[in-house]
Amino acid sequence: MLNWANFISQCFNGLVLGALLALISSGLTIIYGTLGVLNLAHGAMFMLGGYAGWVAYTYTGSFIVAVAFGAAFVMVVGILVERVIIRSFYSRPHEDQLLVTFGIGIVFVETIRFFFGSLSKSVPPPPPFVGITNLGFMMYPTYRLAVLGIVAAALIVLYLVLYRTRIGMIVRAGIEDSAMVDALGIDVGKIFMLVFGLGAAAAGFAGIVNAPVVSIAPDVGEAILVQTFVVVVIGGVGSFPGAIIGGLIAGQIISLTSMFNPGYSYIMLFVAMTLVLVLRPYGLLGTAGRE
Amino acid sequence: MLRQRPLLVELLTAACLIAAPFILPHVGFTPTTINRILIWGLFGIGFDILFGFTGLLSFGQSAFFGTGGMVAAYLLTVANFPYGTASLLIGTMVAAVVGYLVGLIALRRTGIYFAMITVAISEVFYFVEFNPLSDFTGGENGLPGVPPPSLFLGFTTVEFNTNWKMYGFLAFWYFVGLVIALRIIRSPVGTVLRAIRENPGRAAAVGHSINGYKLTAFVVAAAYAGFAGGLLGMMQGFMPPDAFTFETSGQLVMQSAIGGGGTLFGPLVGAMVWLYLSDFLQTTLHLGSTWKLVLGIVFVLLVCFLRHGLIGGIADLYRIVTRGQARSTEEAADETLREEHDATPQAVSKPAAVPARPREASLNGRPILQAKGLTKRYGGLVANSDIDFAVTRGEIRGIIGPNGAGKTTFFKMLTCEVPPTSGQILFEGHDITGMTVTEVCQLGLTKSYQINQLFNRLTVRENLTIGVLAELRGTFRLDLFRSTKSVPELERRVEHALELVDLVKRADTPVSDLAYGEKRRLEIGLALATSPTLLLLDEPLAGMSPQERIGTVRLLKSIARGRTMIIIDHDMDSLFELVERVTVLHEGRILIEGTPDEIKRNSKVQEAYLGGVHAEVAAE
């Protein structure tokens, strides 16, 4: 019943999905860690990235332009949302922040539905990555391998930004204690805006990169948002390494369970989340007190 | 206030429910819409208890809505179970049991974690409905053919088979649901739920098992959801699978936020607005699917500008309109208050202190509290090191020490807020090391905080009630249907605590409107309300004006009778006047212990505070 070729290829699928989830979750987690806001519109940001990229692709026919535009567009949207709305919610209770970001998410989804309809759109993979590659031990869609590379590269860039630049150091300090950073004379407002933009861009980037694998529709972000939450709960809220480990674990769980019955993949994901909550309530790499 | 006349809300609701079918159709509501509003309103009553009253925002209520609905529909269709109402109740019970199990997991965390976990859980239920259980639930087809409810009266059977008959059925259950919910929120449990919303940490510290109460609220919300789900199946004659979707949870959350939380009626008002607009935008304006975009924008604007929803907005408006009147009377009241204060600063009669809990006579003379080798390390930092400490029953002990000496950490260990790294704490002979702050408070040891930890949106009286309830009811009790007023002793104790901290005139003022000194007194009063045998006071005089200090010292003296107290403060003069013995902490260790006079003269103490060079100056 269990066939090795199938198993290996599902592992690869899991790796691709896991890398994507890791990237999206890092965006969510750095926003939460720095600003203290859980962005329920994060799934919608993922979806927006896909659509913005699709529009750019239809006009230019270039996949690279599509990816760049998708990420940049969502970054701008993120910055605008932070400036106009989220800013006035820092001093309000968490519940209000959840409500408003939830509402923003719905407005994005419905705006896209208004302009582009409910039917799904697809972006073809760029020419060099069309077809199937023979890896020696199995055949695998070339573009999925490319996704793995692209997302890994994006994660490395994000890592370098966070851990090797001045801005990144301020952001990490802000995750630990944003009031202290403010007291040190650093303009936290500007940092918050940048982080929100960066986090949104991570989701948007993932959205367009994933578009050739799974076609885009207005509600594509909802499932992603739920998976992202599980990733963050498993990895630990506010932890960048936690998001990556959580993403990889969640990716494997989803795709390996799908091999037997896709209907059970969420249930297994939930079982894993429950186990983590019981054994390590703050997530694998989380620390107490970030709540 | 409506709360003073308990039956008024019920009667008004009944009147509105009877009047609705005669009025609403004329302003554009169709019968189906009205019935839906009632179902969402009932669904929302439970959600409001969870979110509006307890402060737990769940995005997973669809799981229970769907579960209750599916169980009821399954019984009535596939299983051919003939009793409609019984099916509804069975569905409700199943939803409540599922809610209990889910709550055990989701309530391990609070805040955003709780929200995320509930989202994940509801998604799991959606997939379970579609896949493993599709043989029972009909998968994506749902369960068609749910019969309308009927009522057998002996001689004839009433079938609720038209929209308006259905309305009667739904309105009856809405009313029942509302009456039950009103009982719950007026019960001691309801009071504790509000305390958890305002300040969960303090609610636990005065002796309530907050996890038990949160789980209670979660189960109640699940039961309401399950019942409403069952009604949905009956009303439509079909149990739709999309009851399980995240969208259902989201719609409930949005409707409740639109209406406003904490009133039980918010979700009903929200559902009216939501469903009316959705009908209006779709059928009158022909906007098609764009209606959701419009409602989304309306929702975002509302959350941005109207914090407490429509009901909160109307209440604010009412306050603005009536402000002129209110202000003048309030000012007058303030004026008299001030005059009284100025005229008779000494004349405030002090009632005898709340009796401390009865104690075993055999224990007299022995130390009430003993700490042995208490040490606390935070990573490499040693906050407290090897402290041996004992307080005799009836003693008033002061603890002083320069900033950073470890006084607050020491207090936190004594009240079991933080566990010691090593060492042992004995209270009245019990080893309390490793207990929770709630258990220790129930034993009679509690603390007033350095920084006020009050229930800000509640009144002074409600704050004290929360403390007294913990003492009268223990950590957890499910007296969901008892009126708070009927708890024996409660009113007398609350009044007494009010008098003790001199806040009788401010009893019905919300804490957020109190002056700082009044808040400090209430902070002490809240600790006193639990009738502790040992009371720890962390800087009770901090931030007070000299005038307020005198009053507070007098207050502390009056409550000291029959009680043991340990006081931390930086105001040496006041402290030395109050206490019999003083312990000096320095760099996490005990420097010296003695009477105030001994301490004043001690050169080591002077050195610790001022450094050696200045010792002579200080001695003068």
Question: Can you give the pLDDT at residue B612?
Answer: 54
Whether A89 is covered by a domain: the verdict is: yes
- Spatial separation of the C-alpha atoms in residues B249 and B237, rounded to whole Å: 22
Residue B616 has pLDDT above 60, yes or no: no
What percentage of chain B has pLDDT greater than the value 90? Answer: 38
Interface of A with B in 172-201 (CB under 8 A): none
Torsion B250-B254-B260-B263 (CA) sign: negative
Question: Can you give the pLDDT at residue B65?
Answer: 96
More confident of the two residues B327 and B97: B97
Nearest to B299 among A38, A103, A232 (CB): A103
Indicate the DSSP class of residue B572. Answer: H
Residue B6 has pLDDT above 80, yes or no: no
Q: Please give the residue of chain A at the shortest CA–CA distance from B56.
A: A95
Nearest to B113 among A107, A274, A291 (CB): A291
Closest CA to B552 of B350, B339, B402, B357: B350
Question: Can you give the pLDDT at residue B331?
Answer: 52
CATH number for the B366-619 domain, one of 3.40.50.300, 3.90.1150.10, 2.60.120.10, 3.40.50.1370? 3.40.50.300
Whether A230 is covered by a domain: the verdict is: no
- Chain A: nearest CA to B352, how far in angstroms? 41
Per-residue pLDDT of A55-98, as tens digits, reads: 999 999 899 999 999 999 999 999 999 999 998 998 888 889 99
Question: Can you give the pLDDT at residue B218?
Answer: 97
Q: Please give the residue of chain A at the shortest CA–CA distance from B291.
A: A110
Per-residue pLDDT of B547-571, as tens digits, reads: 888 888 888 888 887 789 999 988 8
Which residues on B lie below 8 Å from A103 (Cβ)?
254, 296, 299-300, 303
Question: Can you give the pLDDT at residue B156?
Answer: 76
- Chain A: nearest CA to B488, how far in angstroms? 36
Residue B516 has pLDDT above 90, yes or no: no
More confident of the two residues B218 and A124: B218
Which residue is listed with tokens 């003269």? Answer: B601
Question: Can you give the pLDDT at residue B363?
Answer: 47
More confident of the two residues B614 and B247: B247
Q: Split chain A (291 residues) into runs of 10 and give each run's mean pLDDT.
A: 77 92 93 88 95 94 92 96 92 89 94 90 86 80 89 91 85 77 81 91 94 89 90 87 93 90 83 86 72 44
A118 touches chain B (CB under 8 A): yes
What are the C-alpha distances in Å from B390 to residues B16, B69, B158?
A: 64, 60, 74
- Chain B: nearest CA to A167, how far in angstroms? 26
Encode burial over A159-184: b for 16+ CB neighbours within 10 A, e otherwise.
Answer: eeebeeeeebebbbbbbeebeebeee
Indicate the DSSP class of residue B482. Answer: S
A268 touches chain B (CB under 8 A): no
Question: Can you give the pLDDT at residue A75?
Answer: 96
- Chain A: nearest CA to B452, how far in angstroms? 19
Question: Can you give the pLDDT at residue A69?
Answer: 95
Question: Can you give the pLDDT at residue A3?
Answer: 77
Question: Can you give the pLDDT at residue B346?
Answer: 43
Angle between helices A94-116 and B111-130 (to 10 degrees): 50
Whether A190 is covered by a domain: the verdict is: yes
Size of interface A-B (CB pairs under 8 A): 117
Which residues on B lie below 8 Å from A113 (Cβ)?
289, 292-293
The number of beta carbons lying within 10 Å of the beta carbon of residue B321 is 10
Phi, psi at B617, each rounded to 5°: -60, -45
The residue range of the domain holding A145 is: 27-220
Cβ contact, residue pair B116, A233, below 8 Å: yes
Question: Which residues of B have a CB under 8 Å from any CB of A?
Answer: 51, 55, 57, 59, 105, 108-113, 115-117, 119-121, 123-124, 126-128, 130-132, 246, 250, 253-254, 257, 289-290, 292-293, 296-297, 299-300, 303-304, 307
Whether A102 is covered by a domain: the verdict is: yes
Q: Are strands B150-152 and B445-448 parallel, antiparallel or unpaired?
A: unpaired
Whether A213 is covered by a domain: the verdict is: yes
Residue B329 has pLDDT above 60, yes or no: no
Residue B359 has pLDDT above 50, yes or no: no
Residue B283 has pLDDT above 90, yes or no: no
Q: Spell out the domain ranges in chain B.
A: 7-258, 366-619
Mutate to test the interface with A, among B274, B300, B417, B456 (most CBs of A within 10 A): B300
Per-residue pLDDT of B443-454, as tens digits, reads: 999 999 988 999
Question: Can you give the pLDDT at residue B352?
Answer: 52
Question: Can you give the pLDDT at residue A60?
Answer: 92
Average pLDDT of B29-55?
94
Question: Can you give the pLDDT at residue B339?
Answer: 47
Question: Can you give the pLDDT at residue A132?
Answer: 84
Whether A265 is covered by a domain: the verdict is: no
Q: Please give, one letter per residue, the 3-state secondary structure of chain A.
A: CCCHHHHHHHHHHHHHHHHHHHHHHHHHHHHHHHHCCCCCCHHHHHHHHHHHHHHHHHHHCCHHHHHHHHHHHHHHHHHHHHHHCHHHHCCCCHHHHHHHHHHHHHHHHHHHHHHHCCCCECCCCCHHHCCEEECCCCEEEHHHHHHHHHHHHHHHHHHHHHHHCHHHHHHHHHHHHHHHHHHCCCCHHHHHHHHHHHHHHHHHHHHHHHCCCCCECCCHHHHHHHHHHHHHHHHCCCCHHHHHHHHHHHHHHHHHHHHHCHHHHHHHHHHHHHHHHHHCCCCCCCCCCCC
A254 touches chain B (CB under 8 A): no
Question: Can you give the pLDDT at residue B611?
Answer: 66
Q: The tokens of B357 are what?
A: 């809990």
For chain A, the residue count is 291
The tally of CA atoms less than 13 A away on the side-chain side of residue B199 is 17
Q: The tokens of B246 are what?
A: 């995240």
- Chain A: nearest CA to B111, how far in angstroms? 6
- Spatial separation of the C-alpha atoms in residues A206 and A147, rounded to whole Å: 9
Whether A272 is covered by a domain: the verdict is: no
* B362 confidence band (pLDDT: 50, 70, 90): very low
Cβ contact, residue pair B120, A233, below 8 Å: yes
Cβ contact, residue pair B120, A273, below 8 Å: yes
Which residues on A lie below 8 Å from B51 (Cβ)?
95
Q: The tokens of A14 are what?
A: 């899991």
Residue type, position A162, single letter: L
**Ordered strands of the B581-586 beta sheet:** B445-448, B534-538, B564-568, B396-400, B581-586, B589-594
Per-residue pLDDT of B239-275, as tens digits, reads: 888 889 888 999 999 999 999 888 899 999 999 999 9
Which residues on A lie below 8 Å from B130 (Cβ)?
263
Contact indicator for B290, B272 with CB cutoff of 8 Å: no
* B324 confidence band (pLDDT: 50, 70, 90): low
Q: Are strands B534-538 and B564-568 parallel, antiparallel or unpaired?
A: parallel
Nearest to B127 among A95, A229, A263 (CB): A263
Cβ contact, residue pair B130, A230, below 8 Å: no
The total number of structural domains in chain A stands at 1
Cβ contact, residue pair B293, A114, below 8 Å: yes
